[in-house]
Structure 1
Amino acid sequence: MSAFASPPDPERAGSVDEIVQRLRLLKAWAGSPSFDTITARVNAAWSRSGREADLAGRTTVVDCFRPGRRRLNADLVVAVVEALHTDPGYVARWRQALRVVGGEIQAAAQVRVSAALPAALPAFTARESELERLRSAFGDGTRVCLITGMAGAGKSRLAVRAGHLLAAEHAFDRVLFVNLRGFHEDATQPPADPSAVLDGMLQSLGVPSLRVPYGMTARATALRERLTGLRVLLVLDNAADEQQLEPLLPDTPGSFALVTSRRRLPGIVGATRLAVDAFTPAEALRFLGAVRPRVPLGPDPSAPARIARSCGYLPLALALVSGQLRAAPGWTLTDHADRLDERRQERRLDDAVELTLRVSYDHLGGCRRLLRLLALHPGQDFDGYAAAALAGADPATVRAELNDLCRDHLVQPAGEGRYAFHDLVRAFAANRATDEDAPSARRAALTRLFDYYLATAAAAANALSPAEAHSRPRIAAPESALPDVGDRDAARAWLDAERHTLVAVAAYTAVQGWPGHTTALSTTLFRYLNGGHHSDALTLHDHARHAAADIADPLAQGHALTNLGATYTRLGRYETAVELLRQALELFARAGDPGGRARAANNLAIVTARLGRYDEAVALYQQAILACREAGDRTGEGRAEGNLGNLEARMGQYESAISRHERAVINFRETGDANGEAHGLDDLAEAEMPLGRLDSAAVHLRRALELFRGHGDRHGEAWTLDNVGTLHARLGRLDLAEDHHRQALAIHRDTGEREGEASALNGLGAAAYLAGDPAAAVTHHAAAQSVAGSIGDRYQLARACAGLAHAHEALGAVLTAREHYRQAMNLYAAFSSPEAEQLRIRLAAVDQRRTHAGTVGIVERLR
């Protein structure tokens, strides 16, 4: 029996040595089985899962327990843990700990979920029986079809082709495609985190980023709920294992998943299974005949068979040969067969795919350099401008070369104007780059690429929010051509298309020698990412924080911390936000940077106000205003003034709030910040309404709505609609009030703005109460209470409790009403809000009526 009461906790490990130490403790906990026993258990488990080629040796297993190592084979360590403790939950904790220690967690979280299938290659032939089986499986009601086979067997190509056929034959509501990177040749591209894949799927299915729940289990549940009633085709390419795949699979009628993997994945129960091997000789010959029917045979009638045999009958190798046939117009099939034989006799290459890749590469001519440089790209896909930046050439020339590479099957189309690699081709090209391009040439190509992304991101950010251009870093014009992102629509479209790539670039530049690009991307993309792309924001800003620390740049570190704090605020993780923003404020104060100090103080004030610490928030806003004046930042000063005015209005200081908002509006108009002006007018109207200045409020709200709609700012539009609803309620136009609150609620739910959702629900509750429908008021305020409670917003929670108290009192539920009055009074009192005194009076009246009713009842009983 083990001397240890419980197995060690892997999640407390912070380094490879600490992982090894806990692995040794786990071995002791399990009764100290011999290394031979552990090795046998690991190999037995791997054999059952179809990994006969991966069996471990005893020495390799022993190495996992040896301290002083710089890295670990995470896959093997997980298998060893499973051999010592079979509980799936415990094994999952080890898997997570290994990914964190190995630095993979952020890379694994970067995954692109596409709302369309990749283009089906026109040269697809053979596999007719496999295609028919896949179509039949869907017709029989199967929800998962698993296509397995070795690398290069054509699994992905078959799945994409089948997906196109099914989509053409059946009315799917949505089609989603994702490369899970289960067996990517590049170590910097680890298997995709299933939680991140679920996030991408949910957003592709219309769930706003802020409404995607935390945690894999919650996201898997949300996906099942979202798929209910929909017919969705999922193509999940290159799955690693059951743990990665299972949370992604549909279990609702009408949805269908096509999955590819190099492993058999026996744990996926109920799936239709299709093992894909190399072509038969007849299929290989048919493939070659279809793709190059006009190439002369030459003197050897067995040339096609020799080509197929040299390719190992693998579809990928045969596809590469088809590209070679196009690239050598004067050659016969006999010439090609002879060339392959020569390569094999020279013993340069043994693997069929490697052999055909080398021959294809030799035929490329001027495209070779482009292929090598493209393999250096850290993202999953790229467009023509990025390729041109790598090559240092004009986009038109590079696009022509990309078309040639596509025809040669060395690069694959990946959507409109985008391209990607098969992972084996990328690995080959990257090796060629290492062998043939000097380190300085590779670094220069990557510098051009990173300069291109940073400059285009800056241009797009300035088009989206020009008034804040002064607060972003000034980016020098790069050598490369840039796409036109000068208008808001084009800027947003480019950023949306390149978001995942920009995060990948930030991750790469942070650790590979371009830290300045990382920190500049963080500051440049803050406003765009803050609009709902919070998972990407956390990843990018965290890379920037560490990059800035590595180069001892306190200002860059302060901005990265501020960006992180603002993102955590939007996510409702207030205590984490406070800690990060305090660190940023201290860094800026030590560095003597008033602009940074103003940013950090303003964001810290926002989160402390949401936590109900109004006195602290007021002091921070005042600090931010003074720092903005010191820095000469009038736009920032206007925002801090407006935020402080909102806080003063909540505390009943309406005249002071109105003065601040009027100053802010003047600031915004003089600096040309139309978006800031709209926010200022909306805030001004909100402060005017409690004083009865309804005509002035109506004018200001009308103008704010015009400005927000003109700039396509749905976030601001929703808040203004909510205030318009409040105005109509004060004017007794309750139908119009309800209509505007509902419009605001719909937009807030669409954009994922939880605080706004609670506010609109409270507005609906107030309108229903005034309309004489307290039951409906209870429904709306209860929903607002739930949302506000989940994010910790104490002001909206106070509004909800007060509304519930009024509604329950009207319904005669006096005890329930009394409890809500008490909660609301205490919440408002913490803000020094005048509502606290009004609620105290109302609560006393309720208690007096209860006492009177009780006395009357006693008298009646005595009679």
Structure 2
Amino acid sequence: MTDQAVGGGYLASQAARGPGTAARNGRGALPRQDAAARAGLPGFAGRRHELKELRADIGRAGLDTLTGRRGARSRVLLIAGRPGSGRTTLAEALVREVADDYPDGVLRAVLTGRDGAPVGLARTARDLLAVLGADAPPGADEDQLAEAVRTALAGRRSVLLLDDAPGAEYVEPLIPDAPDCLVVVVSQGPLTGIPDVRPCTLGGLDTAAAVEVLCHYAGPTRVTVDPRTAEAVAEESRGHPAALILAGAWLAGRTKLSVADLRRALLAVPLPPDLPAGARPLHRAFHLTYGALPQPAARILRLATLAPDGLVDAHTAAALGGCTMPAAEAVLHDFAALGLLRPVAEDDVPQAPPAGDGTGPRYRLPGCLVPLSRALLHDHERPADVQLARARMLERTVRLVQSCRAAAEPDGSPIRRKAAELPRSLRFPTRAAAAHWLRTHRGALLDAAAIAVADGQLDTLDRRLIAALTRALLAHHGPEAAAPDLYVLHELALEVAKRRALPRERAAALLNLGDLDARAGRTEQALTRYREALEAARSVKDPVATGRALESLGDTYTELSDWIRAADWYGRALELRLARGDRADVARLHARIGAAHGRAGQYERALKDCRAAARASRRLGDSAGQARAAETAAGVHEGAGELDAALRSRLEALELARAATDAELEADLQLRIAETLDRLGDPAAARVHRAAGERRHSTSTSDLRNR
């Protein structure tokens, strides 16, 4: 089983020096013409029987049925094997063969993160929901998110490919109750606890298939003239696909060497004394390939383990390696040809990228090579140099996100003019291109923010990244669609604020999280957030955050129908606004207090507050504010059973709304007047006001659409 060969070319440093340098240095690279010639050859060997069995398993009756009919859940296929055994490539080959049977596309998720730890069910579910375009409550727990994924897949005919699954507990909650979907899981071991899983366990390739892999990467000529040695290389590699790929690609760049030279070079690679026998072939092949790399390329390979979400593109490689974008692009291109990186398949669900979106190919370091590359990073890079590389990567990410946000602004705006001064590689030609980049890179961007926060030494950069990403998400997605990702970012901002003892930023993060909790219906959690925010804001005498926290507490108690407490918190906010002379806020808060007292049955106090709101609005010349105060008073009269007084207040409010030329408020008031007239027993007058209100609503909606 092999990874698909992709392109070739001289490594960046050699391309800069010109042809022939690689030969002089003894560090060969894959010639472009050889790679191009092999592009049409099959990159898939030795797993035809397994592929046939997997396809047959899709249509077989489930073990939980006696009639032969399909069960209610999706069919689950398991491809099990050690990293590097070709399990992911077999899964991708299966997906390609059955794609036409699943017209709703392929969804992919890698369940193990860049550090070898599980990414977590919540993260996986959020990523899948983002691809599906489905909504998930911000701050939802794992069970809610998994349920949202299953709901979004119900009724679809899709393939869900879950790669590098750590265990059944990360897979089972995502299996949809949709018999027309297919779930393909790649894992190292069994999925104990999931019923009716169809397993396919991979070992090493047989000798013929292993030699075929060598032919595919090294070319057939040298293998044909020395088949015995090729078979010896295959046997010594224990049929390990990843080791064979690396060995074949190494030989391909050295046209004057034979298969026997390859074997001698592999056997000459020193082995650690405690290395298990099964790990020796990959260790030898990797270090043989790594030892032939130019120093700049070798350093990029070591630093690739730092890439957010395990994804490497030219921007990331250039920042980590401290090189130019063209050099980084050439290095990544060659790494893919050498088997050191695997191109990342784009999900089938999203639309094609806009022209000139600035999104180059993305790659992932195969899981079997991550420990080897990370060991090299530890052995060859000083901690200070690693920190500097991370800082360069985050700085470039911040600038890209800022440029992405700028693309959503109107032409000629200050932020667009500032973005125009950036290098061409950091600019987006259109808003659509920027939006596509943000959508396809959202997982890596969120992971970059999490990396920076966890690092603890880059808090200036992580705060800038969190702020820039928050603005970009709001600009391109809007507050509702961006809410789940914003919740994650606000939690990260809160973690930094606590660690750095930044009470203003802590208050802001808590207020933002409280707002999202309140919208999601988690009122108790929102109350806790608002109280903590109030404490933080008061500790630094921040009147803006203090006032917002007080009003938010009042709003939350209003949602809970606890009118007395709501009026109390609004009253505290009113005291603050009066002390600061914020007259517009004073008028608004008087009205809110009046509404709360009215709902609590304290009608006299409520009307007093409504009159105070009207007076404050009149001093400001705010006719719309006066209208809203009059409408609040009408609600109080209505609660007290004084329908005639309620009608007079609403008619007064209607005149004030007309004076303010507020068509939407006027329409709402006419509909409420109609309801009051109905209760007073005057249906004819009610019909007139209702027709006028509906007509104004229709006109207002049409105007908004035209805008």
TM-score, normalized by length of structure 2?
Answer: 0.69
What aligned pairs does 1:670-749 form with structure 2 within 5 A after superposition? 691-692=653-654, 696=658, 700=662, 730-732=689-691
Distance 1:381 1:438, change over 3 A: same
Distance 2:51 2:670 in 1: 57
- Distance change (3 Å), C-alpha of 1:617 and 1:696: farther
Within 5 A, what are the aligned runs for 1:10-89? Answer: none
Q: Secondary structure of 1:692's match?
A: helix
Rounded to whole Å, the distance in 2 between the matches of 1:398 and 1:341 is: 31
| Deviation (angstroms), 1:620 | 5.8
Aligned match for 2:292, one of 356, 359, 363: 363
> Which residue, 505, 510, 515 being the options, matches 2:459?
515
- Please tell me the residue identity of whatever aligns with 2:533: A
Give the secondary structure class of the aligned counterpart of 1:552: coil
Partner of 2:97: 165
Q: Percent identity?
A: 25
Cα deviations across residues 200-235 of structure 1 (Å, max 9, x unaligned)? 43443342123996552x555554444332212111
Equivalent residue pairs, number: 579
Amino acid at match of 1:170: D
Q: Which amino acid aligns with 1:588?
A: A
Q: Does 1:497 align with 2:497?
A: no
Matches within 5 A, 1:390-789: 390-414=320-344, 415=346, 417=360, 418-461=362-405, 483-485=426-428, 489-512=432-455, 513-526=457-470, 528=473, 530-597=479-546, 600-601=549-550, 603-612=552-561, 613-616=565-568, 618-619=570-571, 622=574, 647=592, 653=610, 656=613, 691-692=653-654, 696=658, 700=662, 730-732=689-691
Query: How has the CA–CA distance of structure 1 residues 212 and 536 changed in structure 2, closer, same or farther, with 3 Å as cutoff?
Result: closer
Q: How far apart are the structure 2 equivalents of 1:266 and 1:489? A: 44
| CA pair 198-438 structure 1, distance change in 2 beyond 3 A | closer
CA distance in 2 between counterparts of 1:499 and 1:390 reads 20
Q: Match of 1:541, SS? A: helix
Deviation at 1:347, TM superposition (A): 6.8
Residue deviations 1:106-160 (CA, integer Å, cap 9, x gap): xxxxxxxxxxxxx999623331122222222223366111111222111111101
Residue type at the aligned position of 2:691:
G
Amino acid at match of 1:732: A
* Letter aligned with residue 569 of structure 1: A
Structure-2 residue corresponding to 1:253? 179
Instruction: Compute the displacement of 1:368 (Å).
Output: 1.0
Give the structure 2 partner of residue 193 of structure 1.
Answer: 120
Shift of 1:340: 0.7
State the partner residue of 2:55.
Answer: 135
Structure 1 pair 317–543 and aligned structure 2 pair: CA distance change class (3 A): same
Q: 2:77: which partner in 1?
A: 145
Give 1:346 shift: 9.1
- Residues in 1 aligned to 2:314 and 2:54: alpha-carbon distance in whole angstroms: 35
Distance in 2 of aligned mates of 1:409 and 1:240: 24
**Cα distance in 2 for residues equivalent to 1:387 and 1:263:** 33
What is the CA-CA distance between 1:269 and the residue it aligns to?
A: 2.0
Measure, in 1, the Cα distance between the counterparts of 2:670 and 2:289: 66
The higher relative CO (CA closer than 8 Å, separation ≥ 6) is in 2
TM-score calculated relative to the size of structure 1? 0.58
Q: Distance in 2 between matches of 1:421 and 1:198?
A: 23
Task: Give the match for residue 87 of structure 1.
Answer: none
Q: In the TM superposition, what is the alpha-carbon distance from 1:497 to its structure 2 partner?
A: 3.1
Matched, 1:351 2:280: yes
Q: Confirm whether residue 267 of structure 1 aligns to residue 216 of structure 2.
A: no
Residue of structure 1 equivalent to 2:135: 208
In 1, Cα distance between equivalents of 2:228 and 2:590: 85
What are the ranges of 5 or more consecutive residues in structure 2 without an aligned counterpart?
Answer: 1-38, 63-74, 347-358, 597-606, 633-648, 675-686, 703-707
- 1:179 and 2:99 equivalent? no
In 2 relative to 1, CA 240–319 (structure 1 residues): closer, same or farther, beyond 3 Å?
A: same
Shift of 1:178: 0.9
Quick check: 1:230–1:255 contact (8 Å CA) kept in 2? Answer: yes
2:111/2:166 contact within 8 Å kept = yes
Corresponding residue number in structure 1 for 2:683? none
SS at match of 2:387: helix
| Alpha carbons 2:654, 2:670 under 8 Å: kept | no
Residues 262-303 of structure 1 deviation map (CA, whole Å, 9 limit, x = unaligned): 112343321222111111111111222233325534974423
Task: Tell me, in whole angstroms, the C-alpha distance in 1 between the residues paired with 2:621 and 2:300.
Answer: 53
Q: Which residue of 1 aligns with 2:237?
A: 311
Q: Secondary structure at the match of 1:164?
A: helix
Deviations 1:343-362 (A, max 9, x none): 15897975222221111212
The aligned amino acid for 1:692 is L
The Cα shift of 1:258 comes to 0.9
What is the identity, as a one-letter code, of the residue corresponding to 1:435? D
Alpha-carbon separation, structure 2, partners of 1:573 and 1:685 = 32
Distance 1:202 1:740 in 2: 36
Please name the residue that 1:115 is paired with.
none
Look up the equivalent residue of 1:514 and give its one-letter code. Answer: L
Distance (whole Å) between structure 1 residues aligned to residue 304 and residue 481 of structure 2: 31
CA-CA distance at 1:247 after TM superposition: 1.6
Matching residue's letter, 2:254: A
Residues 645 and 160 of structure 1, relative CA distance in 2, 3 Å threshold: farther
* Change beyond 3 A, Cα 1:268–1:624: same
Give yes or no for the alignment of 1:296 onto 2:222: yes
Distance in structure 2 (CA, Å) of the matches to 1:357 and 1:661:
78
1:230 to 137, 141, 156: 156
Cα distance per residue 1:26-54 (max 9 Å; x no partner): xxxxxxxxxxxxxxxxxxxxxxxxxxxxx
Q: Which amino acid aligns with 2:442?
A: R
Task: From the superposition, tell whether residues 686 and 451 of structure 1 become closer, same or farther in structure 2 (CA, over 3 Å).
Answer: farther
Displacement, 1:259? 1.0
Deviation of 1:568 after TM superposition, in Å, equals 1.9
Distance 1:273 1:551, change over 3 A: same
Paired residue for 1:20? none
Question: Does the 8 Å contact 2:110/2:164 carry over to 1?
Answer: yes
Per-residue deviation, residues 622-648 of structure 1 (Å, max 9, x unmatched): 477679989xxxxxx98x689759847
Counterpart-to-counterpart distance in 1, 2:567 and 2:407: 37
